[in-house]
Chain A
């Protein structure tokens, strides 16, 4: 691959057991990359929405889209234009909480519009939502203060 780009695919799939396995199986056996994958129910309980972020080039994306469309459980495949969609990710970050830096951390959480959802004598859990860049920026900022654990959901997105 010469130009490696990030693509966001939004899929509508039948809400049946085994569908996630079929899609992730397709990606793994054909060597396609899954950067992140989120899935959840839509307004129709029989249909789920899956958002997959994949890395590749245009030719690979075309193959991925066509192979996904072949799956009987996949209803629709859309490539989201990252500029024309609203994308969000949730991160839960546990950091160690030395007393000297607590107020600095609390202030920065406010600046990033996050929430402190857990607090005890040794650690603090911060919840943050935003696009991928914002989450990454916060993590980079907070790293020197001691990150114990990060859980990120991966991106989900909706077209404007």
Chain B
């Protein structure tokens, strides 16, 4: 059969139900086979959104997200979303068309060296030169994307290769001699870790995105409750734990809560699980956890010891390691330590004020109570992201998706689209600012075309709030951050045939949001926010 048909068959073998893409000349053969198949194709309005939507879809369905673009500018438009997935360890398979194999390197129309360009942002990439390798390549790509530390894998397929004939026989196994990720933690290291845990007086767990991608939430909950150890988390770890007093402390880092950071500085044993503990979490401080010994449990050995010196490294899948640790569970005497944390939590925590414009902190606290326990919230980047991280509560099965590592504006809307397609029965709330909405509002077209119902919560403060705040705090003045010619966003939603409402006061929020929940189409709730509203 033709390679193009084989590619679609391989995707079906990998149980791919949805592909997000934008066709062009060099993927026409693949699209012809896609047309004949039962795989759902979602046409986006910009390739960058295809990558973000595949990311949201994959994160919610716990599968490998798949997106497709053409050669040249189609491929280069995918770069930002590939880098976003790479930084947050999201499994993606990205298929790009390429010019004819004998024209590569001659600067022909829509040619771009995408494998070279994405070298630093992909877990691995393939340029298919021999059609006989395509089946192995696809099998390997999915395997690499979802095992070990997940990440994006790119497959660049020249259009003439897509038209060649091969014998189809999907490989049963994959064996890459140079790639053997460690799953089970070393028993000796786990034993050492247990000893340290049992000796500690002020232990503290810090989790990251690894708990979520490793689906270890239940094991973590049991670990926290059986050992009685309080827990803090990074931005990516926010939906790894349900708020479960008295063990839940809060978000750490430069935009975290000072009481959570204080808990870290006073602990004598910091147990890092599924986190790379990067500069946002440590606030770049060399005094981070200076008095604590450190146990670092992570699937990627390169992250252990990269930012923080580690006393006991444990390389392995966090679910497996937690299950091993749970075999020797013992309740620690942490009542005084937990009470101490609760006490300074009350002292330091300052509540927000309600003034005349809409206060996003109030809105998000309201949503914590109004929304169902399995709502999925996507956040963009900037003040809106931090307001969500600090004020929206994760309960039961709620999810929180954002671009934590790369901090890519324009992530929220397309990832919400992917999330809704993966979980059509759940409420999806996409939070963003006026800056980030304008980086993604073309995806309203995708929403309408695919009958997608989400709620867009837009915090409009007429500017790039986070940067403005940094400029004001550093120089006293700001420059280049004002979005003072914003269009009427509600009218834009209506131009797409959707609904929307603008509110100016806190007391109008509840009613507007209830209307958005009842509405059959996507609904935009635009909140007018004071430009001086602080992030923290």
Are the CB atoms of A75 and B178 closer together than 8 Å?
yes
Q: Which residues of A contact B302 (CB under 8 A)?
A: 63, 66-67, 69-70
Interface size on B, residues (CB 8 A): 17
Interface string of B274-287 (1 = CB under 8 A from A): 00000000000000
Q: How far is the CB of B43 from chain A (nearest CB, A)?
A: 32
Interface size on A, residues (CB 8 A): 19
Are the CB atoms of B115 and A73 closer together than 8 Å?
no
Are the CB atoms of B120 and A72 closer together than 8 Å?
no
Are the CB atoms of B301 and A21 closer together than 8 Å?
no
With A21-B116, A22-B119, A29-B120 as contacts: A72 and B178 at CB distance below 8 Å: yes
A14 CB within 8 Å of chain B: yes
Are the CB atoms of A72 and B179 closer together than 8 Å?
yes
Q: Which residues of A contact B301 (CB under 8 A)?
A: 66, 69
Q: Which residues of B contact A3 (CB under 8 A)?
A: none
Count how many pairs of residues, one from A and one from B, have CB atoms less than 8 Å apart in the complex: 34
Measured CA separation A120–B83 after assembly (Å): 56
Measured CA separation A71–B144 after assembly (Å): 11
With A70-B300, A72-B178, A73-B178 as contacts: A63 and B119 at CB distance below 8 Å: no
| B119: contacting residue among A21, A66, A74, A76, CB under 8 A | A21
Q: Which residues of A contact B306 (CB under 8 A)?
A: 63
Are the CB atoms of B119 and A72 closer together than 8 Å?
no
Q: Which residues of B contact A71 (CB under 8 A)?
A: 178
Interface string of A134-157 (1 = CB under 8 A from B): 000000000000000000000000
Interface string of B98-116 (1 = CB under 8 A from A): 0000000000000000011
Measured CA separation A14–B91 after assembly (Å): 24
Q: Which residues of B contact A18 (CB under 8 A)?
A: 115-116, 127
Interface string of B242-254 (1 = CB under 8 A from A): 0000000000000
Q: Which residues of B contact A59 (CB under 8 A)?
A: 305
Main SS of chain B's interface residues? Answer: loop
Q: Which residues of A contact B177 (CB under 8 A)?
A: 75
Main SS of chain A's interface residues? Answer: helix
- Residue in chain A with minimal CB distance to B306: A63
Are the CB atoms of B305 and A72 closer together than 8 Å?
no
- Residue in chain B with minimal CB distance to A12: B178
Q: How far is the CB of A131 from chain B (nearest CB, A)?
A: 30
Interface string of A47-81 (1 = CB under 8 A from B): 00000000000010011001101111111100000
Measured CA separation A157–B151 after assembly (Å): 34
- Residue in chain B with minimal CB distance to A14: B178
- Residue in chain A with minimal CB distance to B144: A72
- Residue in chain B with minimal CB distance to A59: B305
Q: Which residues of A contact B9 (CB under 8 A)?
A: none
Measured CA separation A38–B301 after assembly (Å): 27
Measured CA separation A25–B124 after assembly (Å): 13
Are the CB atoms of A72 and B116 closer together than 8 Å?
no
Are the CB atoms of B305 and A25 closer together than 8 Å?
no
Interface string of A116-138 (1 = CB under 8 A from B): 00000000000000000000000
Q: How far is the CB of B105 from chain A (nearest CB, A)?
A: 12
Q: Which residues of A contact B146 (CB under 8 A)?
A: none
B495 CB within 8 Å of chain A: no
Measured CA separation A63–B119 after assembly (Å): 19
Are the CB atoms of B305 and A62 closer together than 8 Å?
yes
Q: How far is the CB of A136 from chain B (nearest CB, A)?
A: 34
B123 CB within 8 Å of chain A: yes
Of A22, A66, A70, most B-chain CB atoms within 10 Å? A70
- Residue in chain A with minimal CB distance to B115: A18
B485 CB within 8 Å of chain A: no
- Residue in chain B with minimal CB distance to A29: B120
B176 CB within 8 Å of chain A: yes
- Residue in chain A with minimal CB distance to B181: A70
Interface string of B295-321 (1 = CB under 8 A from A): 000001110011000000000000000
Measured CA separation A118–B142 after assembly (Å): 55
- Residue in chain A with minimal CB distance to B178: A75
Q: Which residues of B contact A62 (CB under 8 A)?
A: 305
Q: Which residues of B contact A25 (CB under 8 A)?
A: 119-120
| B176: contacting residue among A21, A29, A63, A72, CB under 8 A | A72
**Chain A interface (Cβ within 8 Å of chain B)?**
14, 18, 21-22, 25, 29, 59, 62-63, 66-67, 69-76
Give 10 pairs: A residue, B residue, CB < 8 Å, sorted on A. A25-B119, A25-B120, A63-B305, A67-B302, A69-B301, A72-B179, A73-B178, A75-B177, A75-B178, A76-B178
Q: Which 10 A-B pairs have the closest CB atoms?
A: A66-B302, A75-B178, A72-B124, A72-B179, A25-B119, A67-B302, A66-B301, A29-B120, A70-B302, A74-B178
Q: Kindly list 8 other residue pairs between chains A and B, CB separation below 8 angstroms, not including A59-B305, A71-B178.
A: A18-B115, A21-B116, A29-B120, A66-B301, A67-B302, A70-B300, A72-B176, A72-B179
